[in-house]
Amino acid sequence: MSSLGDVIHTLPFVSELRKLYPDAKITWLVHPQFGGFIPMQIVDEVIFFDKIGFNKDSFCDKIKDFLQMRKQLHSHKFDLVIDLQGLFKSAVLAAISGCNNRIGYCEMREGSQFVSKPIKGEHRHDHVIERYLDVARYLGAKVESVDFPLPDLQEEENFVLQKLASKGCESKYVVIVPGTRWETKCWPENYYADLIKRIIADGKYVVLAGGNEDVAKSARIVEMVQDKKVINLAGQTTLKELIALIKNCCVYISADTGPLHFAAALKKPLVCMYGPTKADRTGPYGNPNQSVIYSKAKCAGCLKKHCTDWHCMYDITVDEVYNAYCEKLV
């Protein structure tokens, strides 16, 4: 219920859960914003908890919504509740589920470890996907590969390709997502502009993508580049359309942001830039065709969302990213 990346990281676990329990009814509790990426060929039902709307409610409305959610969860008579977020908000919902059989992954925080049993497996120091899969292994799954079940995207692919063609792009294109949820994870806008100029000079189209929060940033980058081969679709696609856009690109480029994990799940050639976060724990996973560029700053990996001496992302040069991009074209 916090980020798109968390949902994508959970997909391999859900795939293993379905293999382990082919006849079970699997329900996924998620924020409405991320519902479009739930693989309904594996999951039977989705329950939405709108944390944004809940936070805006009056106190009385909060109590009313809380009681309604409790009633809804109790009505399912769950046999097992699995908390793979491990935060206070997910712990509260697990606690009011009406199910006493509750487990979570190894890194349970904010008191969630007192609500659900943390499962600590042999991968507890590895990537978060493997930590989640340790929960599946605990339940008896024989994990042989890391699979990312995806929703059907045929309709969205047709729409995206038609939209690009209407803007003159009928050839291979590069997708760049310049926005991030943390200000410290952003690569500088002028760096993106310089990179795009080089990619365009090589004959490729560049498509800027992202959510509504990325519209202004993408517009500024377009203004700096001023070339018709830059197509700005930031804020103009649904979640599934964004996945379809990435699915058909030749290379994907971004910093640490949710759509990056789409590209990894789709096994697309990708280049990503990491500064305050740790790619070995929560970065793109299971894709042999990825290049992760780490900041050389001594403070890299600090996990700070705000910084008074922020330079880690500036330390990653345009040359580094462009050279990694060129390697993906070989």
Asked if CATH classification 3.30.1490.20 holds for the domain at 154-328, the reply, yes or no, is: no
258 SS3 class: helix
Segment 170-185 shows an average pLDDT of: 88
Res. 272: pLDDT tops 90: yes
Q: What is the pLDDT of residue 289?
A: 87
- What torsion do the CA atoms of 271, 13, 118, 49 make, to the nearest 10 degrees? 90
Cβ atoms of residues 268 and 289 within 8 Å: yes
Segment 175-180 shows an average pLDDT of: 91
Res. 315: pLDDT tops 80: yes
- What torsion do the CA atoms of 189, 190, 192, 198 make, to the nearest 10 degrees? 170
**pLDDT, tens digit (0-9, with 9 covering 90-100), for 238-255:** 888 998 999 999 999 999
Provide the phi-psi class of 187: left if phi over 0, else alpha when psi is between -120 and 50, else beta: beta
**Domain boundaries in the chain?**
4-139, 154-328
Q: What is the pLDDT of residue 148?
A: 87
Segment 155-173 shows an average pLDDT of: 88
Distance CA 74, CA 96 (A): 8
Q: What is the pLDDT of residue 232?
A: 93
Segment 203-231 shows an average pLDDT of: 91
Structure tokens, 39? 């693989």
Confidence of residue 151 (pLDDT cuts 50, 70, 90): confident
Kindly give, in sequence order, each residue whose CB lies less than 8 Å from that of residue 286, ignoring residues fewer than 6 positions away: 12, 129, 146, 148, 264, 265, 267
Segment 57-70 shows an average pLDDT of: 87
Res. 75: pLDDT tops 70: yes
Res. 170: pLDDT tops 80: no
Provide the phi-psi class of 176: left if phi over 0, else alpha when psi is between -120 and 50, else beta: beta
pTM: 0.79
Q: What is the pLDDT of residue 321?
A: 95
Q: What is the pLDDT of residue 330?
A: 64
Segment 54-68 shows an average pLDDT of: 84
Query: What integer best gives the mean pLDDT of the chain?
Result: 89
Higher model confidence: residue 92 or residue 150? 92
- What torsion do the CA atoms of 134, 140, 145, 147 make, to the nearest 10 degrees? -80
- What torsion do the CA atoms of 92, 95, 101, 105 make, to the nearest 10 degrees? 10
Distance CA 34, CA 14 (A): 15
Cβ atoms of residues 163 and 280 within 8 Å: no
Q: Which of 20-24, 32-36, 83-87 has the lowest mean pLDDT?
A: 32-36
Structurally, what CATH architecture does the domain formed by 4-139 represent? 3-Layer(aba) Sandwich (3.40)
Cβ atoms of residues 251 and 328 within 8 Å: yes
Higher model confidence: residue 96 or residue 314? 96
Q: What is the pLDDT of residue 167?
A: 87
Confidence of residue 323 (pLDDT cuts 50, 70, 90): very high
* Same topology between domain 4-139 and domain 154-328: yes
Q: What is the pLDDT of residue 245?
A: 93
